[in-house]
Structure formats: C-alpha cells, structure tokens
C-alpha cells in the first residue's frame, strides 16, 4: 500500500513490453478496454501486406502469403490465450455476427429448449442479437430471459438452451466464475456461450478446462488488433461434429474453390467463416498477437490486479474523491482489468480527464471506466490518473459548461 508507483514500476517484469507499443508521449492511455493501441508489429505488418503483398503480388497473395488460412492461423494464436487446444478457434467477422451464428447453433443443439438466458446489464449487442434471432425464428423457438447476475444460477430451468454471459462485465468490471457458471449450466442441461470481449488478453482464461461450450471475443481491445479488427469464435471440439451455423457463406464451404452448387460445411470451426475476410485489418491483429508468445499469463494477471488494486486503494483514501462510487469488486478474484466508478457528473469527469491527457471513457448514464492493460500500463499511469482526478475535483473543472454536449461516440 505504501510502495510508490515508481518503485512498483521498477520491479515490474512486464514493463519492457511497453516498448512494443507506439503510444503517444503526452497521454496516459487507460482505454485499451475500448481500443488497444498501435503496436510496432502491426505497423510493420500492415506496411508489408499493403505494399508487398496486395501491391506487388496481387491476387497470388491468397496462396503465396497464406491469406486464405489467415482466419485459422490468427485463431490458433488466440487459442492459448483463452485456454483452447488447437482446432477450436477462428478469427472472423464481428462479435455481433458471431453471436448470431453461435446462438442459432446452440438452440439447434438443445432441441426442445428455447430460452437464451442473459443478464440484464450485459453489453447490449449480446441481447440485441438474441432479439434479432427471436424475431426471425419466432418467440416459441427463441425466448430471451434477462435476470440479474446474482440470479443466473436460479434461472437455469429446463427450458434454458444456452446461458450467454460476458465474462467481465463492461460496465462494472466484475469477473464471473467461468468454472462455476459453466458447471451450473451443464447441470441444468444448458450450454454456455462466453463473451470474452473484456477478458481475452487481460487475464488467463480456461475454456477447455471449464468444458465451456462456445465463446466469442474481440480483436481490438486487449489483443490490440486495431479499430474494428475481426472478432473470434470458439467451438469446443465436443460440439464440432454436430454443430451447424446458418450464415453459410462460400468461405465456410468444405471446398470453396470447387464452386459447387450446394453448401457443405467445412470441418470443425472452419465452417464459421462466411464471406471474404478483411485481410489488412486481420493482418494487423495477426501481428499484434505475436507479443503474447513472450508473456506468461499468470504474470499478466498478477500485474493487472496489482494495477487495479493500487488504483482502487488510493482512490478510496483520498477525501476529495469520496463521491466517486467504485463499482468494481474489491475482491481480486471477481475483478477484471478495469476500474469503474459511478458519479452523477461522470461525463464531465471523463472529459476533464481526457483534456488533461488521461484517456478514459464514459458509459451512460454515470460511469467512468479506467482500463488497465498490463502489457503497457504502469503504476505511474495509475498515479497520474489519481492525481488528475484530485485536481479536477479541487478545481470543479468537470462542471464546466463545455462538457454539456455528448458527441456521437462516447
């Protein structure tokens, strides 16, 4: 508690990883949970893919530079980060599109059951996609049931086909127990679909060990793939023989270049491809993932918790910040890699921080999120954020009228 940020940074074994990131000098970036920063590796890879591959080798790059297998290769790089043995992860489309594929498939794997169980405060797209599926196939075949996180286990009745849950809640930063909830779902005869958007790349995940069924995750948050880089999908090998997803585009075909008239799905997780993938965005993610090969995930988790603990402990000890209500669990085992605080003037606070170079984000209606990415954030970053918060509350800058208008993206 009393150790200084500088001293903690000096003994941080992950500190050298920051050199892999092209972060601007004048900002403290605490928003990697929204968009991870540019890496040296991505910049180099994008230059190469654009100039040498697309530019010089043109169409032949699909074979010569292995573009055709890139979704699979990137999936295999993500696999060890989420505790998946090979052959179960594919990098493809967006989380929204992948949820549609997996929810459709999950309902088919549990005939006679029609409920998708989710929490009422989960990331909206997860519910929106389930609503879209219900509107398409009918409420008798697809029913949404939203309950509080604490009621999930009790809500697992015999109609639940699939429990869908973001492992780390985007608002609160709460980390749910993959092991306990997967076991509870299985005991009730349901499948589990984990959304790893706020956990992949930030903490160790054990999909296989928990016997999780299905998962999706994001390429552009803690994996640093770049804005809107493709998402990923995980299908446990136990389901691969039976699973079938309905967005059957040509690249999910067993032999796409036979151009045969009828669809036959590729084996395993490869059938989750649909159309042609955005190669440049995908190559950026591919390159950004390489740094994880040198990272021990237990050390990553240890640093993540040390950063959030440092921030939370000091936040609560500053008298002028007592109106900031911490939403993130104090219990380290229930905490992701962000700290969320609630305040009626959260919007003004977030904007005053950003103006001072402390990049955080706001989530309606009243949350400021401080994302700590253990690969590049330091204890000095956390200290700078705390110092600026105190300065804001002393000056009242967050109440400035210029912070009344919210732009399109918050």
Site residues for its own copies, 215-244, by CB under 8 A, read 220, 226-231, 244
Q: Active site includes 183?
A: no
Judge whether 87 and 269 are in contact, CB under 8 Å.
yes
Q: Using CB under 8 A, which of 123, 159, 184, 188 touches its own copies?
A: 123
Q: What DSSP string describes 354-384?
A: HHTTEE-EEETTTEEEEE--TTT--HHHHHH
For its own copies, give the closer residue by CB, 8 or 251: 251
Q: Which stretch binds its own copies (CB under 8 A): 21-29, 78-86, 234-242, 391-399?
A: 21-29
6, 7, 51, 316: which one contacts its own copies (CB under 8 A)? Answer: 51
Q: Which of residues 187-206 bind its own copies (CB under 8 A)?
A: none
Following DSSP, what letter does each residue of 13-29 receive, concatenated?
TTGGGGGGB---TT-EE
Among 78, 117, 129, 191, binds its own copies (CB under 8 A): 129
Helix (H, G, I), strand (E, B) or coil at 326: strand
* Residue 214 DSSP label: E
Which of the stretches 58-66, 183-191, 301-309, 385-393 binds its own copies when contact is defined by CB under 8 A? 58-66
- Smallest gap from residue 7 Cβ to its own copies (A): 28
* Residue 236: exposure state from Cβ atoms within 10 A (0-12, 13-18, ≥19): buried
Q: Which is nearer to its own copies, 207 or 251 (CB)?
A: 251
Nearest to residue 268, comparing CAs of 105, 90, 91? 90
The reply on whether position 296 binds its own copies by CB under 8 A is no
Cα–Cα distance measured from residue 204 to residue 213, given in angstroms and rounded to the nearest whole number: 17
Can you tell me which of 5, 29, 289, 315 binds its own copies, judged by CB under 8 A? 29
Q: Is 205 exposed, middle or buried (0-12, 13-18, 19+ CB in 10 A)?
A: buried
Of the candidate spans 124-132, 179-187, 381-389, 394-402, the one that interacts with its own copies by CB under 8 A turns out to be 124-132
**C-alpha–C-alpha distance, residues 84 and 82, integer Å:** 6
Backbone φ, ψ for residue 325 (5° rounding): -95, 120
Nearest one of 367, 402, 360 to 384, comparing CA atoms: 360
Considering 77, 221, 303, 335, which one is annotated as catalytic?
221
Taking the least distance from each CB to its own copies, the nearer of 210 and 346 is: 346
Q: What is the dihedral of CA 37, 43, 46, 50, to 10 degrees?
A: 130
User: Which tokens in the block code for residue 317?
Assistant: 């000890």
Residue nearer to its own copies on the CB measure, 8 or 216: 216
408 binding its own copies? (CB under 8 A): yes
Active-site residue 408, yes or no? no
* Residues 239-278 close enough to bind its own copies by CB under 8 A: 244-253, 256-263, 274-278
Which of 115, 169, 284, 308 forms a contact with its own copies (CB under 8 A)?
A: 284
User: Which residues inside 76-115 make contact with its own copies, applying CB under 8 A?
Assistant: 93-97, 100, 104
- For residue 34, state whether it binds its own copies (rule: CB under 8 A): yes
Residues 335-394 contacting its own copies, CB under 8 A: 354, 359, 361, 363-364
> Is 381 tagged catalytic?
no
Q: Does 137 bind its own copies (CB under 8 A)?
A: yes
143-172: which residues touch its own copies (CB under 8 A)? 146
Residue 176: active-site member: no
CA dihedral 94, 195, 286, 91 (to 10 degrees): -50
Count of residues in contact with its own copies, rule CB under 8 A = 93
Nearest-angstrom CA–CA distance, 191 and 243: 12
User: 243: Cβ–Cβ under 8 A, 6 or more apart, which residues?
Assistant: 105, 108, 109, 235, 271
Name the residues annotated as catalytic: 123, 195, 220-221, 369
């Amino acid at each position: 508690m009393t150790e200084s940020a500088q001293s903690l940074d000096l003994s941080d074994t992950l500190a050298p990883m920051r050199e892999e990131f092209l972060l601007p000098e004048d900002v403290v970036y605490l928003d990697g949970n929204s968009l991870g920063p540019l890496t040296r590796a991505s910049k180099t890879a994008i230059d190469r893919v654009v100039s040498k591959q697309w530019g010089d080798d043109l169409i032949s790059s699909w074979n010569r530079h292995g573009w055709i297998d890139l979704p699979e290769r990137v999936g295999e790089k993500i696999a060890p980060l989420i505790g998946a043995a090979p052959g179960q992860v594919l990098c493809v489309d967006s989380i929204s599109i992948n949820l549609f594929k997996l929810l459709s498939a999950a309902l088919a794997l549990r005939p006679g059951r029609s409920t998708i169980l989710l929490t009422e405060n989960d990331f909206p797209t997860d519910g929106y996609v389930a609503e879209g599926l219900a509107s398409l196939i009918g409420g008798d075949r697809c029913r949404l049931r939203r309950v509080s996180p604490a009621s999930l286990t009790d809500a697992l009745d015999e109609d639940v086909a699939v429990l869908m849950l973001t492992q780390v809640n985007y608002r609160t930063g709460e980390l749910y127990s993959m092991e306990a909830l997967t076991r509870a779902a299985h005991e009730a005869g349901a499948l589990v679909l984990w959304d790893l958007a706020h956990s992949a790349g930030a903490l160790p995940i054990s999909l296989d060990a928990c016997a999780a069924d299905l998962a999706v995750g994001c390429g552009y948050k803690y994996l640093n793939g770049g804005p809107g880089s493709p998402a990923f999908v995980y299908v446990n090998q136990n389901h691969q023989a039976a699973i079938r997803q309905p967005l059957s585009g040509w690249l999910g075909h067993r032999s796409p270049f036979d151009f045969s008239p009828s669809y036959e799905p590729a084996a395993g997780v490869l059938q989750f491809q649909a159309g042609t993938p955005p190669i440049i965005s995908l190559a950026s993610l591919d390159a950004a993932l390489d740094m994880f090969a040198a990272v021990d995930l237990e050390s990553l988790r240890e640093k993540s918790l040390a950063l959030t603990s440092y921030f939370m402990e000091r936040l609560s000890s500053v008298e002028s910040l007592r109106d900031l209500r911490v939403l993130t669990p104090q219990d380290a085992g229930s905490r992701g890699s962000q700290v969320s605080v609630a305040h009626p003037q959260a919007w003004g606070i977030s904007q005053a921080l950003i103006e001072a170079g402390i990049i955080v984000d706001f989530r309606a209606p009243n949350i400021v999120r401080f994302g700590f990415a253990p690969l590049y954030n330091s204890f000095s970053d956390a200290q700078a954020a705390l110092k600026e918060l105190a300065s804001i509350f002393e000056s009242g800058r967050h109440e400035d009228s210029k912070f009344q208008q919210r732009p399109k993206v918050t």
